[in-house]
Structure 1
Amino acid sequence: MFLLEEFKDRAKRNPKAIVFPEGEDERILKAAVKAVREGIAFPYLLGDKDKIALKAKDLNLSLDGVKIKDPKVECKNEKYINFYHTLRKDSFFSPKMAEALLRKPLNFGALMVKCGDAAGMIAGAANPTSSVLKSSMLIIGLQKGIKIPSSFFIMVTKKTEVGEKGTLVFADAAVNPDPTSEELVDIALTTANNVKKLLGWQPRVAFLSFSTKKSASHPLVDKVIRAAELARQRAPYLLIDGDLQADAALIPEVAKRKVKESKVAGRANILIFPNLDAANIAYKLVQYLADATSYGPILQGFNLPVNDLSRGAKVEDILGLTAITVVRAQEDKNYENTGN
């Protein structure tokens, strides 16, 4: 909980406007009210105003400080239609097309972020990750030089001897099923950059495999070895190693036996998994069997902050991700002019 409180404290120093496309969801509504009460963010809820007001009344919640926009009404707003037109830059645009697209809350929320009405978007409580990604790719777009969006989880464990006093970052555990070597590089470098900003760490990046330093020969191992080599070429200033098995990446005694010289082995704080199977299974096992706390998935690679919720997210999960989204907006120069 200490890490979450730290994010909340940082968010309170300079709260930002955050848009929630699933504003009629009870959990979102409760989290938005808490965000206002704690001074973390200025929430925008998207949805039917009457339905949201009625639900708030039933839950005995005050909507003071919470703004509501109905995409079915706002999609006709010339401000948003014209802004979307500037994004399209093609001959197939029509106001009717824009109106139809912006009626969808995910698209409208993404446009609010893109045009500066909000500093970030949080969705996924009632929509699959694929839908959140689709709207974000369409309207917000990817950062220059980044070919794919990706994600990471912050894992807070009780094993204080690993990572940063027990805290590790896992990537990519939510987005890319089977990344190529080149895509693994994108995932690793984007994660390292965001971790440095968000957590203030010196990144120590381990590309994980079932092999340590070519102890096994297989195309899957070759993919990881190549990714580590390419990552070192693109970012010689970062501490990067791989191929490493998980124990060689995390445990100094094992690293001494398996790896001759490495500034990462036995000390890794960022774990890059070879595919989504490995990463997703690992984070859930650590979360439930080791009683670890996880924060995420935190989406990355987009021009502006977008974050995805698990559809099983609780109110406190949403509040925590709200604080993280605000902090990301504070830390990146691209987001300086966005807010309430």
Structure 2
Amino acid sequence: MDLVKQIIERAKSNKQRIVLPEATEERTLKAADMVLADEVADLILIGNPDEINSLAGKWGLSHIGKATIIDPDNNPRSEEYAALLAELRKKKGMTIEQARELVKNPLYLGCMIIKTEGADGQISGALSTTADTLRPALQIIKCKPGITCVSGAMLLVTKQPQYGENGVLVVGDVAVTPMPDADQLAQIAICTAETARSVAGFTDPRVAMLSFSTKGSASHEVVDKVVEATRLAHERQPELKIDGELQADAALVPSVGEHKAPGSPIAGHANVLVFPCLEVGNIGYKLVQRLGDAEALGPILQGIARPVNDLSRGCSVDDIYKMVAITACQAMDAKKG
């Protein structure tokens, strides 16, 4: 069974409640119909019920009736949500009047539903920017304990089974934090290993902290940052299998790893790659995707206390369907914590 099918089957095995706040958008509603038909997740759609049902009829979607639909302009819990939001943001000067307006915003409303345990995760981005997706999540749901920076992981499904986990690699950060310091990079490593477990199903994440140097072969402050990040990650999670700094070939190819980093438990056997900065990560995964003909799934936002994921505005119906399953897997893992 390929990775995507495994993710979908895991989601089906323990259905989670996922919010789609852009429910009147065509691709989103069509993906919702597929999710409901296949029983991948229970869905909460935010939007005017008459409009959603009219669009479902127009596009021949026969399963939307299985979803819970919440009208942001006529929500019986609006005042409750507004009071809670005003309390959460009172140190930032938010008034109850401002909160009442914000809980009509579908992105904020979805996060309030999650905050009050009415849902397990949210996906947006078909219409919204990454900043608009992240802002309510960070204001309302906030980061996991011990995490202060959000990052984005990508699942790379390659045609090279000798690398990673039968050809699958989990890489980060590829989406959010442009120039992480050592502390943030350590957090990214820990979160990416968690994504490898919860989404990719890795039972044994092996994390390589990438650099242009392997074990002191070059000297530079950016190499020092990777070395320090490795130390911090290992200090915080001693059971985490992690090593660095490693060049990409030393991380992935056993013969190179043995030569460049003899005795390393990770060199030549890594299945999780952590890039030293966003520039390298974003360029690197796209080169693998395009030149290596790999499937790239994500980005998967990580570090938030409950999963809130961001879509590309150029996403397809299939992309949204897969992201629902991915978010459901993250939600299951979040509940364990």
| Category of TM-score, reference length = shorter chain | over 0.9
Q: Which residue of 1 aligns with 2:181?
A: 180
TM alignment of 1:189-338, pairs within 5 A: 189-198=190-199, 199-333=201-335
Over residues 184-222 of structure 1, what are the superposed CA-to-partner deviations in whole Å (9 max), with x where a residue is unaligned? 001101221332233132111111111111212222212
Aligned residues, how many?
Answer: 335
What's the CA shift for 1:56?
A: 1.7
Distance 2:233 2:307 in 1: 24
> 1:93 deviation in Å?
5.2
What is the rounded CA distance, in whole Å, between the counterparts of 2:208 and 2:257 in structure 1?
A: 12
Counterpart amino acid of residue 147 in structure 2: I
1:79 matched to which residue of 2? 80
Give the AA of the match of 1:4: V
Partner deviation per Cα, 1:91-137 (whole Å, 9 max, x = no partner): 95543221111122111111111111111101111112122111100
User: Does the aligned pair in 2 maintain the 1:15–1:42 contact within 8 Å?
Assistant: yes
Residue in 1 that maps onto 2:66: 65
- The equivalent residue for 2:159 is 158
What TM-score, normalized by structure 2, do the two folds share?
Answer: 0.94
CA distance in 1, matches of 2:80, 2:35: 28
TM (norm. structure 1) is 0.93
Give yes or no for contact 2:206–2:266 (8 Å, CA) kept in 1: yes
Greater displacement, 169-178 / 39-48: 39-48
Aligned twin of 1:45 = 45
Do the aligned partners of 2:15 and 2:41 also contact (CA within 8 Å) in 1? yes
Q: Whole-Å Cα distance in 2 between the matches of residues 91 and 184 of structure 1?
A: 28
Counterpart position of 2:119: 118
Q: Is the 8 A contact 1:22 1:46 kept in 2?
A: yes
Residues in 1 aligned to 2:327 and 2:106: alpha-carbon distance in whole angstroms: 19
Alpha-carbon distance in structure 1 between the residues aligned to 2:320 and 2:181: 32
- What secondary structure, in the 3-state scheme, does the structure 1 residue paired with 2:242 have? strand
8 Å CA contact 1:149–1:300 kept in 2: the answer is yes
Structure 1 residue matching 2:65: 3-state secondary structure: coil
Contact 1:76 1:99 in 2 (8 A): no
Higher mean Cα deviation, 276-285 or 224-233? 224-233
Between the aligned partners of 1:34 and 1:193, the Cα distance in structure 2 is 28
Partner of 1:9: 9
Say which is worse superposed, 145-154 or 50-59, in terms of deviation. 50-59
Question: Do 2:305 and 2:334's aligned partners in 1 also have CA atoms closer than 8 Å?
Answer: no
Q: Distance in 1 between matches of 2:333 and 2:77?
A: 33
Mapped to 2, the partners of 1:37 and 1:152 lie a distance apart of 28
Which runs of 5 or more residues in structure 1 are unaligned?
Answer: 336-340
1:85-96 equivalence runs, <5 A: 85-88=86-89, 92=93, 94-96=95-97
- Answer whether contact 2:79 2:100 (CA < 8 A) is retained: no
Q: d(CA) in 2 for partners of 1:165 and 1:254?
A: 19
Aligned identity (percent) is 44
Unaligned ranges ≥5, structure 2: none
Shift of 1:236: 2.1
Looking at structure 1, the residues matched to 83 and 234 of structure 2 have their Cα atoms a distance apart, in angstroms, of 43
Once the two structures are TM-superposed, the CA of residue 79 in structure 1 deviates from its matched residue by 3.0
- When structure 1 is superposed on structure 2, of 47-56 and 251-260 the one drifting more is 47-56
Residue 100 of structure 1 aligns to a residue whose secondary structure is: helix
1:338 equivalent in structure 2? none
Pairwise CA distance, 1:90: 5.3
Q: Is the 2:78–2:103 Cα contact (8 Å) retained in structure 1? A: no
The range that moved more, 212-221 or 80-89, is 80-89
Counterpart residue type for residue 187 of structure 1: I
Q: How far apart in 2 are the matches of 1:91 and 1:160? A: 50
Matched, 1:32 2:35: no
Using the TM superposition, name which of 110-119 and 1-10 deviates more.
1-10
| Alignment correspondent of 1:145 | 146
4+ long deviations beyond 6 Å: none
Assess if the C-alpha contact under 8 Å between 1:106 and 1:135 holds in 2: yes
The question of whether the paired residues in 2 share the 8 Å contact of 1:150 and 1:175 is answered with yes
Offset, 1:281: 0.9
The one-letter code of the counterpart of 2:14 is N
